[in-house]
């Protein structure tokens, strides 16, 4: 099995792991956003609460969600390992920096990733942890269901009435947008997919995705804070 | 034109270097290296120690001249080596900061001279075709599509100067290594050993202490020969198919 360890510890193997986990997380964000947009229904949380109940009690989803957490951690830890070895690539820095030949996002992927990770800690601590491991959320009846479900909608409503939580969300999502701005097309390059025929399409899609998805998420706290 | 130069001075590999300030009188038609020659004459006349810098062909084809000028390897002009950079691109009274290429795998030997033997070791690990080539073959004895020949030639135009490493925020050698891997992998003569070659060259690159590629593409932007990062994608494909597809472990 030495060939596989040699492969996965080589610089290209390490990057392949970043690329594949990154692309998986890109797909996850679409799923997550489409579920969360139910928060915008004007039904006092009926749709969102029954969705949240399903997502936290369905066995298959729970199983998959632990896979997702593992891949988030793998992406984050591997990213830090790579960033650390990249720092060792240049022990003495230049006196005059060069910002002309690449983008801000591409230079600061590790920092942006770290910001997204801290944002995730705040985000999951507030919603996921309270939903799954505490009894802080009220039980409410939902039309058409036999059991009462936890009122996550009320927690979202309360959280997004706090200005500094809304600010953390917006900043976290800006960091995410920049991370995706570079990460989307970079994942394809690492897989070896770079060609004049389709790379402009990948780059275009990456730009649209990295603006649209974080903007979609940002609508939710802004809607609760300013409109609702 | 009067110029103020801040140049990295370091007497040897072990010593701690520092910037020193010089003033020099140059003319717009001088090349950057000729301007440094004038400065060195001046230093020698004052019984000083001239600035060590590497140069050879001074025609932009050998890849020997290596320095970072105001933060950019080979200076501010695109697709230009330092020796082909002319002083007309600077203004009278400019301050120019000149530093050596900075990378752990390129240790400074003296002043602006760095040790780029790590590139030679990468080539030695597999960047060749191991058959007796004999005399130059007839032009079209092996037929190669024009598009393939063009890609191979573009990759082969890498002069191995190391500007990609110097420009990369991670000091990664991916553009250089990928150009060498791709150039041989495109052609039938190189394809026989392609699978073995890419593995050996990547592993040697990792051993030399270069950083990883994070696709910032600073290498492509600063490359004096315009080597494309498409070669990096090509090398990634070659490497993955070598690991997954080849019989050898």
Sheet containing B18-25: which strands, arranged edge to edge?
A: B18-25, B2-9, B95-99, B68-69, B72-73
Q: Which two tokens stand for residue B88?
A: 């007309």
Residues B73, B76: Cα–Cα separation, whole Å: 8
ipTM of the complex: 0.94
| Residue spans per domain, chain B | 2-109, 116-130+141-245
CATH level 3 topology of B2-109: Ubiquitin-like (UB roll) (3.10.20)
Assign residue B58 a region (left: φ > 0; alpha: ψ between -120 and 50; beta: otherwise).
Answer: left
DSSP B146-203: HHHHHHHHHHHT-----HHHHHSTT---HHHHHHHHHHHHTSHHHHTTHHHHHHHHHH
What kind of architecture, by CATH, is found in domain A2-88+106-227? Up-down Bundle (1.20)
Q: Which of B8, B236, B237 to mutate to test the interface with A (most CBs of A within 10 A)?
A: B236
Q: Which two tokens stand for residue A126?
A: 């507030």
Residues B41, B47: Cα–Cα separation, whole Å: 10
Residue A123 buriedness (CB in 10 A; 0-12 / 13-18 / 19+): middle
Q: Which two tokens stand for residue A157?
A: 């409503």
* B116-161 pLDDT tens trace: 999 999 999 999 999 776 788 788 888 999 999 999 999 999 999 9
CA max distance for chain B? 65
| CB-based contact B240 A192, cutoff 8 Å | yes
| CB-based contact A100 B221, cutoff 8 Å | yes
pTM, rounded to two decimals:
0.95
Distance of CA A79 to CAs A59, B95, B208, B220, Å? 30, 38, 21, 23
What kind of architecture, by CATH, is found in domain B116-130+141-245? Orthogonal Bundle (1.10)
Residue A145 to chain B, least CA–CA distance (Å): 49
Q: pLDDT of chain A along its 228 residues, tens only?
A: 688 899 999 999 999 999 999 999 999 999 999 999 999 999 999 999 999 999 999 999 999 999 999 999 999 999 999 999 999 999 999 999 998 899 999 999 999 999 999 999 999 999 999 999 999 999 998 887 888 999 999 999 999 999 999 999 999 999 999 999 999 999 999 999 999 999 999 999 999 999 999 999 999 999 999 998
Residue A207 buriedness (CB in 10 A; 0-12 / 13-18 / 19+): middle
Residue whose structure tokens are 């050993």: B193
Is some CB atom of chain A closer than 8 A to the CB atom of B243? Answer: yes
Closest C-alpha to B55, from B67, B45, B44, B43: B67
| CB-based contact A86 B214, cutoff 8 Å | yes
């Amino acid at each position: 099995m030495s060939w596989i360890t040699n492969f996965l510890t080589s610089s290209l193997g390490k990057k392949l792991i970043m690329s594949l986990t990154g692309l998986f997380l890109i797909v996850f964000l679409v799923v997550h956003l489409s579920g969360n947009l139910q928060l915008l229904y004007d039904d006092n949380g009926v749709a969102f609460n029954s969705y949240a109940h399903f997502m936290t009690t369905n066995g298959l989803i729970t199983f998959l969600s632990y896979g997702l957490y593992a891949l988030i951690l793998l992406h984050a830890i591997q990213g830090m390992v790579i960033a650390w070895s990249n720092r060792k690539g240049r022990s003495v820095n230049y006196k005059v920096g060069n910002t002309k030949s690449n983008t801000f996002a591409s230079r600061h992927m590790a920092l942006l990733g770290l910001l997204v990770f801290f944002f995730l800690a705040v985000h999951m601590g507030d919603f996921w942890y309270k939903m799954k491991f505490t009894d802080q959320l009220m039980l409410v009846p939902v039309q058409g269901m036999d059991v009462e479900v936890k009122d996550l909608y009320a927690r979202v409503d309360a959280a997004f009435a706090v200005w500094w939580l809304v600010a953390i969300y917006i900043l976290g999502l800006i960091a995410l947008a920049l991370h995706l701005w570079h990460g989307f097309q970079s994942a394809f390059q690492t897989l070896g997919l770079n060609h004049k025929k389709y790379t402009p399409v990948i780059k275009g899609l990456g730009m649209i995705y990295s603006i649209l998805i974080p903007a979609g998420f940002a609508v939710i706290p802004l809607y609760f804070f300013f409109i609702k | 034109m009067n110029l103020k130069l801040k140049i990295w001075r370091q007497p040897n590999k072990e010593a701690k270097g520092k910037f020193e300030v010089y003033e020099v009188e140059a003319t717009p038609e001088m090349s950057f290296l000729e301007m440094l020659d004038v400065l060195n004459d001046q230093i020698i006349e004052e019984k000083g120690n001239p600035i060590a810098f590497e140069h050879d062909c001074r025609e932009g084809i050998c890849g020997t001249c290596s320095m970072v000028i105001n933060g950019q390897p080979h200076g501010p002009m695109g697709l230009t080596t330092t020796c082909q950079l002319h002083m007309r691109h600077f203004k009278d009274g400019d301050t120019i900061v000149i530093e050596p290429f900075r990378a752990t795998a390129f240790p400074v030997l003296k002043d602006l001279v760095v040790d780029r033997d790590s590139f030679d070791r990468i080539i030695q690990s597999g960047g060749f075709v191991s058959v007796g080539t004999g005399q130059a073959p007839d032009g079209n004895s092996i037929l190669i599509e024009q598009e393939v020949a063009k890609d191979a030639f573009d990759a082969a135009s890498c002069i191995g100067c190391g500007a990609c490493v110097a420009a990369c925020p991670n000091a990664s050698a991916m553009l250089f290594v990928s150009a060498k891997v791709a150039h041989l992998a495109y052609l039938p003569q190189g394809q026989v050993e392609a699978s073995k070659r890419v593995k050996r060259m990547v592993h040697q690159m990792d051993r030399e202490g270069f950083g990883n590629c994070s696709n910032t593409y600073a290498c492509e932007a600063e490359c004096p020969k315009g080597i494309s990062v498409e070669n990096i994608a090509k090398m990634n494909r070659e490497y993955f198919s070598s690991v997954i597809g080849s019989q050898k472990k």
